[in-house]
Amino acid sequence: MEVAHAAEPLLSTRGDYVAAETPRLVTLEPARFLAKVGKGEPGGAAFQADVAALFAVAGELARRGVATEPGFLEALWWTPDVTRGTFTWELLLRLADAAPGRIALAEAAAAVAEATPLAREVRIQELAEGECLQTLHRGAYDAVGPAVARLEAAAQEEGRRLAPPIHEIYLNGPPTPPDAFLTIVRHPLAPLEH
């Protein structure tokens, strides 16, 4: 598999958030996240409400001394049919090493629930993706097809396949123009099916 070259720009030096357009193999340790699951149209009203709930809880936890790190919004995406139908997402904000317990999370969610009722649905999720391929996508969120194709080609070169769900990490977003959006696109790897 071709790997990212030193001449390619890398947007982070933190291992699991290093990104270049050339697919890169990463092995990820389990990590803990604030998480909110939802369904609907990507970027639609339900999605935006879930983002607001996640950030409201994260903000309250930060006021209580528990930080999200590095602070990028992340999302796992899946649907029974990627060409149509309702998407399910799990929005994520990575927690620093000192993750809150359930009581601290419940107290933070309750503190913001009057203004943001969906905050009560935010939970702590451990994600153990293991071996993954990731690449950098430049452009609108709904145009990640070429990035996924690069990952599929790299997986085939390794004699592997991409396993669902797709994991997107949004390094920037509005008010940045969509053609300048930067997204890490990540997929866990699985053996080829025989």
Burial label, 108 (beta-carbon count in 10 A; 0-12, 13-18, 19+): buried
CB 94 within 8 A of CB 31: yes
**What are the percentages of helix, strand and coil residues in the chain, rounded to 5?**
30, 35, 35
For the chain, domain boundaries: 15-28+129-191, 31-126
Question: Residue 186: its pLDDT value, please?
Answer: 97
Superfamily of domain 31-126: Regulatory factor, effector binding domain (3.20.80.10)
Query: What is the helix (H) or strand (E) element at residue 63, kind and residue range?
Result: helix 45-63
Q: Would you give the DSSP letter of residue 158? A: T
- Averages of pLDDT over each 10 residues, the chain, 194 residues: 37 69 93 95 94 96 87 90 77 85 91 96 94 96 95 95 95 92 96 77
Domain 15-28+129-191 part of CATH 3.40.50.720 = no
Domains 15-28+129-191 and 31-126 share a fold: yes
pLDDT at 15: 66
